[in-house]
Amino acid sequence: MQIELTSLDATRRLGVALGCALPERAIVLCPGEMGSGKTTLIKSICEGLGVRRETVISPTYMLVNIYRGLRPVYHVDLFRLSRVEELLEMDRCDWINSEGPTLIEWPEIAMPLLAGETALTAHMSLVTGADNHRMLALAGDAEAFQAVFTTLDGATPAPARKPVGTPGGLRDKLQRH
């Protein structure tokens, strides 16, 4: 699922909707180039999970931030990690939340450890020549993340069988701003 985010506000509304639809202990992988909006998106996902938005800050120096939401939310940033062994040396429950969602920026280095996990990937990309535009590619097990895909369905480019810009869809709302 590809979603065009045409403004900061569009990212915020999409993120909140995504957070509201996440399964209880979802793992969300957030790859994407530097400055593409991973933390910005995660702030809004957290908001959808009942976390106070202003408490969400990049955990680059901490590795893991834990926020109080409807359930605890783990926000992990592996940018500074150079070896997967550093994660292996940690207790798994120190960076994968057993009681709620785990949102991971720069997840690449941890992929060998996450191979068997059912994770949603939310890949943010910059759009050349458009400062506030971003592309979000969402991928994951259709059944496990059914609520996410159903909720955000209106935000995708309309498939041929649907008229483009179905009025009232999330896509319509996102693009109005």
Ligand X SMILES: Nc1ncnc2c1ncn2[C@@H]1O[C@H](COP(=O)(O)OP(=O)(O)OP(=O)(O)O)[C@@H](O)[C@H]1O
Residue 2 backbone dihedrals phi, psi, to 5 degrees? -105, 130
Among 16, 19, 29, 38, binds Mg ion (CB under 5 A): 38
54 lies in the binding site for ligand X (CB under 6 A): no
**Cα(128)–Cα(17) distance, integer angstroms:** 26
Among 7, 125, 156, 175, binds ligand X (CB under 6 A): 7
Task: Kindly state the DSSP code that residue 45 receives in the 8-state scheme.
Answer: H
Q: Which does 44 bind (CB under 5 to 8 A by kind): Mg ion, ligand X, none?
A: none
Q: For the sheet containing 119-126, what is the strand order?
A: 2-5, 134-139, 119-126, 27-30, 102-105, 72-77, 64-68
For ligand X, the binding residues in 148-177 under the rule CB under 6 A are none
Least distance (Å) from ligand X to the CB of residue 95? 17
Count of residues near ligand X by CB under 6 A: 17
Residue closer to Mg ion, measured from CB, 58 or 125? 58
Tokens at residue 57, please? 């800050």
**Cα(157)–Cα(31) distance, integer angstroms:** 22
Residues contributing to the site for ligand X (CB under 6 A): 5, 7-8, 10-11, 32, 34-40, 58, 105, 132, 134
